[in-house]
Structure 1
Amino acid sequence: MTQSIAWRLQMWHAAILVSVVVGLCTAWFLQARRARLNEIDAELTSAARVLDGSLRGFDLRSFDTTEHPISELLAADDHLRLSLPRELTDQRDNRPAPYFGIWLEDGRQLKSERLPEGFSLESSLSQPEAPERHGPNAILREVRIVGPAGSLILVGRDIGREIAELNRLALRIAAFAMLILAAGLCGGWWLARSVLRPIAAMSDAASRFSAADMSPRINVVETESELGQLATILNEAFDRVEQSFDQQRQFAADASHELRTPLAVIQSQIELALKRERTSEEYVKTLTTCSSASERLSDLVESLLTLARLDFSSQPTERVSVRVDLVAARCIDLMRPVAQQAEVNLRSELEPAIVSGDPKQIERVIFNLLKNSVAYNRPHGEVLLSVAVVGPSVELILRDNGIGISEADLAHVAERFYRADKARSRVHGGSGLGLSIAQGIVERHGGTMQIASQLDQGTMVTVHLPLASNRPRDSVKEPVDLISDNSTTARHTGTDPLR
């Protein structure tokens, strides 16, 4: 329970809300209390100033208070008025009237009115200025000022009524804070549940998504929100997974079919040969057919293994500097006899260019592209292979004026087991894996491969590979012997086309 995001969000929200509300309400109460006490202090200070003004009209130092009693001092001048104004002593709104006391410098009391019962000057002076202190059944607040001739003027009053009002204000503020907290906590819980409800829906859809049922999707309502964007991304990921599963199923079905065909040929030929005695010529013919089927089976298995390695390997198995122009020249020499037999003219425009990669894989790409252009060309057709350095990459372009590819097939030619011309692919032994392998090799080398074609006009394949940094001549890998690398191709150069 405490590990759920909703619970933790609610706890954080509650902690922040309580801190803010308590802080604001406390500040509110303290400000109200300070303002009310400042108002009382101003009232008491005003009264003390009135008494101070009355005393300043008489020279207290001219009397020897040890010889003259206080009564003579008070009667000495008719202008000496030691009493508070009526507006201060008027007990309006049941407010207690202030009390005051005046003491001479020697400590004798000059005059006092309404001093609280049990009042002690020493006790009052021991408190800070303008304190709140508790008297008998009262809460007192006092101010003190120094009058003329070192006299002390003290004015105070009972503030119990104001303190009671402040306590009631504190209760109202506390009740208000509780209402705010209750509403905020309920709103926070509702908001957390509302925010996390789409996440729960995503979790439910993801939990129901499986190999048996890939239909669950997340209902996207607000595509502009962060959760809406996340739901869209997850739906797109589900679509890609479903598409990958469909491709894998189709790949497995196609691979099974392709493997079954040569195996069926071998099995049928062997069964026919064993039914009765055959002549040596018939046995040779049967073995030749089985050998061709075996070669096709070997090519298909090798192609499947190559695709598997490309799928599970993010980098080429070998990284060396490769002269692409020399590899291309080698491939042209190997394909020239096949091209002459098909009455196709091979031309090349090769500039020195070095890439970093696996020389065997790069040679396989070029050789298979050449075979593809020759196999799907027409008599007296032409194939042009060019290699050049263009900016930071090596550009390899293969053009032919062969039969071309229709617009409908062009979008699918790189898919596994796809054949644009199925009948012609069967004649040339095509399995539909060549372009997938070539594209995978190019991408593993950090390059790109693009195909442009028009039906009955020809095809152009453009490959870009990252240009390698300059290295000493002895570090450049010469083209490998394609015949030793692929004995099946050497024996039957018409196999393993890219379509």
Structure 2
Amino acid sequence: MTGIDKTTQPATHAARPCRPVSFRTRLAVTVGLLLLVMLLAVILVQNISLDWAFQHQVDTIATGSSRNTITTEPSTPPNGVPGTADSCNADSCDVTGTVPTTPSGQTGAEGVVLTVRDGVVQWMRYGSLAVFAAAALLAVLLVWRLSGKLTAHLDSISRQTARLDPDHPVGRISLDHPDAETASLAAALNAMLDRIEQSNDLQRSFIRNASHELRTPITTIGTGLEALMAQDRFPDDVKPAIRHAIEANRKSSELINSLLELSRIQTAHDTGTESTDPARIVRDALETHAEQARARHLRIDADKLAAYDGTVETNPRYLSLAVDNLIRNAIVHNTDHGAITCTIHDDGQHVTIGIGNTTIPPTNPEATADLIQPFHRGDATRMANQPGHGLGLSITKACADAIGATLDISRPTPDTFQARIALIRHIGMPIG
């Protein structure tokens, strides 16, 4: 006799996840069962009421009938001989007994019937009203509880979705004991986040690969043109065009380097941290761009940096890159004879680096937040011969995200621009 060893069979049923119960089904079944219980309770109360009412009336009628029974005494006939009567033909007969009373007519019977009817109707009315009121209250409470569970799941989905960063959707929506509808919604949103993340990764990979491929020919072209210019191989009437080509090639090289830097930060950033002096980083960035600031006659106010002597645990390379881009942005988008203000504020929990500068009032101040987007330079976005590539604030934002800091940009007044990097006092690890 052969048999099948059940222990060797794969436990497909055990591994299959339980499908959530539909909220609509749960609500319908709950309300239906509640109505059924309500009807059964009404029938039960009616039967008990009828039984009690009729039994009570029967007991009442029985008690009243026993009281209406009359007991007669022996009578003495006119002839003086007790126990004799004319109907007995002068013989002795027993006349002692009970004589039933004559009913008082139909009025007493109708009264009894009316009393029974009124009692039954009254008890049925009160009992039914009480059962319906209790069932209605219970139905409201149950529906409110089930609806509250559904809205709680929707609120949870809304809060989790609001916290997600579209550029870095590292988290996913999770629910505890969801219904079929909310589980399906969460699964659809998670699938969308997966597609967004995959699309972002493909886009960054394309930018990184394209930048690598373009770097070599652009470097070769620039080196060749500069060598030919140094050897004076071009006629004088051609040299201005060659110089313009060399400058355009240099800007293209800077753009490629910026794209590569942004792609590296967003995809595979360095997680190392060390004790860093943010005031020294700001001073180094100011010194690096001091010549550009003097060329535009900018006034730099960095006196408040000397009052800060603390450190913060963060990645110094990313913080230096973020501050350098902010200083460069403050110089490039400033006005001649304008000002740059550098501050550091420590509230015990966060160290905030502030870089402010004067600027030309924008035509659309509401679009300030869009400046963080790549290649967005505000009013200079579509202007030719404008310095910068619109990647400075994007790189700063990527660096801030990598070290767990926050970047905030604003316009305190129409002719000023303010950027703040808030670092956590003791922890600078990345959040993504």
TM-score scaled by length of structure 1: 0.45
Q: Please give the per-residue CA displacement for 1:151-182, whole angstroms capped at 9, x wherever unaligned.
A: xxxxxxxxxxxxxx9xxx9xxx9xx9xxx9xx
User: Is 1:347 matched with 2:347?
Assistant: no
Letter in 2 for 1:417: F
Match of 1:18 in 2: 36
Q: Is the 8 A contact 2:219 2:253 kept in 1?
A: no
Q: Please give the per-residue CA displacement for 1:282-310, whole angstroms capped at 9, x wherever unaligned.
A: 59999998676445323222223334568
SS class of match (1:413): helix
Q: Please give the per-residue CA displacement for 1:189-239, whole angstroms capped at 9, x wherever unaligned.
A: xx9xxx9xxxxxxxxxxxxxxxxxxxxxxxxxxxxxxxxxx9xx99xx9xx
Match of 2:218 in 1: 266
User: Is 1:401 matched with 2:419?
Assistant: no
Match of 1:449 in 2: 408
Counterpart Cα distance in 2 of 1:343 and 1:393: 33
Match of 1:387 in 2: 344
Please tell me whether Structure 1 or Structure 2 has the larger radius of gyration of its CA atoms.
1
Match of 1:332 in 2: 286
Q: 1:325 to 1:268 in 2, by over 3 A?
A: closer
Q: 1:404 to 1:460 in 2, by over 3 A?
A: farther
Letter in 2 for 1:302: E
SS class of match (1:435): helix
Counterpart Cα distance in 2 of 1:89 and 1:394: 105
Q: 1:278 to 1:402 in 2, by over 3 A?
A: closer
Q: 1:395 to 1:329 in 2, by over 3 A?
A: same
Query: Cα distance, 1:393 vs. partner?
Result: 3.2
Q: Is the 8 A contact 1:405 1:454 kept in 2?
A: no
Q: Is the 8 A contact 1:347 1:385 kept in 2?
A: yes
Counterpart Cα distance in 2 of 1:419 and 1:261: 26
Counterpart Cα distance in 1 of 2:349 and 2:229: 64
Decide which structure has greater strand share: 1
Counterpart Cα distance in 1 of 2:323 and 2:230: 44
Query: Cα distance, 1:28 vs. partner?
Result: 0.8
Query: Cα distance, 1:269 vs. partner?
Result: 4.4
SS class of match (1:384): strand
Match of 1:431 in 2: 389
Q: 1:393 to 1:267 in 2, by over 3 A?
A: closer
SS class of match (1:412): helix
User: Is 1:298 matched with 2:252?
Assistant: no
Match of 1:40 in 2: 58
Q: Is the 8 A contact 1:404 1:453 kept in 2?
A: no
Counterpart Cα distance in 1 of 2:357 and 2:310: 22
Q: 2:375 aligns with which of 395, 401, 417?
A: 417
Q: Is the 8 A contact 1:347 1:384 kept in 2?
A: yes
Q: 1:462 to 1:407 in 2, by over 3 A?
A: farther
Match of 1:28 in 2: 46
Query: Cα distance, 1:364 vs. partner?
Result: 1.9
Query: Cα distance, 1:379 vs. partner?
Result: 4.4
Overall identity of the aligned pairs, in %: 13
Counterpart Cα distance in 2 of 1:454 and 1:297: 34
User: Is 1:361 matched with 2:313?
Assistant: no
Paired residues, number: 299
SS class of match (1:317): coil
Query: Cα distance, 1:449 vs. partner?
Result: 0.8
Q: 1:452 to 1:400 in 2, by over 3 A?
A: same
Query: Cα distance, 1:413 vs. partner?
Result: 1.6
Query: Cα distance, 1:39 vs. partner?
Result: 0.3
Q: Please give the per-residue CA displacement for 1:124-174, whole angstroms capped at 9, x wherever unaligned.
A: xxxxxxxxxxxxxxxxxxxxxxxxxxxxxxxxxxxxxxxxx9xxx9xxx9x
Q: Is the 8 A contact 1:389 1:395 kept in 2?
A: yes
SS class of match (1:332): helix
SS class of match (1:388): strand
Q: Is the 8 A contact 1:416 1:432 kept in 2?
A: yes
Q: 1:87 to 1:362 in 2, by over 3 A?
A: farther
Match of 1:224 in 2: none
SS class of match (2:371): coil
Q: Is the 8 A contact 2:255 2:389 kept in 1?
A: no
Letter in 1 for 2:409: Q
Query: Cα distance, 1:42 vs. partner?
Result: 1.6
Query: Cα distance, 1:419 vs. partner?
Result: 1.7
Q: Is the 8 A contact 1:442 1:448 kept in 2?
A: yes
Report the aligned-residue RMSD: 5.6
Q: Is the 8 A contact 1:352 1:388 kept in 2?
A: no
TM-score scaled by length of structure 2: 0.51
Query: Cα distance, 1:366 vs. partner?
Result: 1.3
Query: Cα distance, 1:453 vs. partner?
Result: 6.3
Letter in 2 for 1:452: R
User: Is 1:461 matched with 2:415?
Assistant: no
Q: Is the 8 A contact 1:353 1:467 kept in 2?
A: no
Query: Cα distance, 1:370 vs. partner?
Result: 0.7
- Consecutive unaligned residues of structure 1, counting only runs of 5 or more, are 59-74, 95-164, 185-190, 196-229, 311-315, 470-475, 478-499
